[in-house]
Chains A and B, each alone.
Chain A
Amino acid sequence: QSALTQPASVSGSPGQSITISCTGTSTDVGGYDYVSWYQQHPGEAPKMIIYEVSTRPSGVSDRFSASKSGNTASLTISGLQAEDEAQYHCSSYTPRGRVFGTGTMVTVL
C-alpha cells in the first residue's frame, strides 16, 4: 500500500487560510468516507483533528475544516495562528487496514 500524497510544506501568514491536499486512489481515499487528519507538534504524539472526512472531534477548533472530492481529500485551516505550526498527516481506511499520507509541514510566517 503506497502512502497518500501530500505536499511537503505549506506556509501562510497569521490570519490567512491554507489548504493541504491528500491524494490517494479509488481503493483508499476515493472509496471510503473514512479519511482522518492528524496534527503533530514536534516531540509530541499525533492528535486527531478530523475523522470521517469532515467531522471534528469535540474540542477541536472550528478553524479546521475538511472535505473530499474523488481521490483527493483536503484540510483547510482558517485564520492561521502561530499554534497551528505543526506537521499534518492524512489517513484513510483501506480494506487491508489503513494508510497514512507523506505528511505536510505547516509554517506560520
Chain B
Amino acid sequence: QVQLVQSATDAKKPGASVNVSCKASGGGFANLGVTWVRQAPGQGLEWMGWISSYNGDRKYAQNLQGRVTLTIDTSTSTAYMELKSLRTDDTAIYYCARDQWAGAGPFYWGQGTLVTVSS
C-alpha cells in the first residue's frame, strides 16, 4: 500500500521560506505525478502545483508562480515543496498527493503539514 509521510508542523515569520517534504513508500511515485494542495483554516482545497516523477515536468498555480518550487528526488522517493516570501495568509495545512491514474487527479494523500506564518 502506498504511503506518503510528510515533514512535521512548522512555524515561520512573514518573509521567510518553508520547505515541506513528502516521502513515499510501498511503491514510491511509480513514474506518476505528485500534486501539492493546501487548505487554509476552515477553507476549501487549493491546488498549488504538480510535478511528474517520470520526467520532472511541472505546473504551478498562477497565483503562486514565482513563490513556489516543486522538486522530486526519485532516488529517495521524496518530493519537496518550497514556498518563499511567506505571508500570514499562507497559513494552511499543506498536503502532498500522488496520482494513481494519469489525469484523474491525486489519489494517495499524505497526512498534511501545518505551516503557521505569524510575526
Contact = CB atoms under 8 A, between A and B. Distances in A.
B80 interface: no
Name A's interface SS: strand
Interface string A80-98: 0000000101010100111
A36 interface: yes
Contacts of B95: 45-46
Interface residues of A, number: 25
Interface of B: 35, 37, 43-47, 49-50, 59-62, 95, 97, 100-101, 103-107, 109-112
18 contacts: A1-B61, A36-B105, A45-B95, A45-B97, A45-B110, A46-B37, A46-B109, A48-B106, A48-B107, A51-B104, A52-B104, A93-B103, A97-B49, A97-B61, A98-B47, A100-B37, A100-B45, A103-B43
Given A45-B111, A45-B112, A51-B101, A100 B106 contact: no
B105 A103 contact: no
A41 interface: no
Interface of A: 1, 3, 32, 34, 36, 38, 45-48, 51-52, 57, 87, 89, 91, 93, 96-103
A13 B72 CA distance: 46
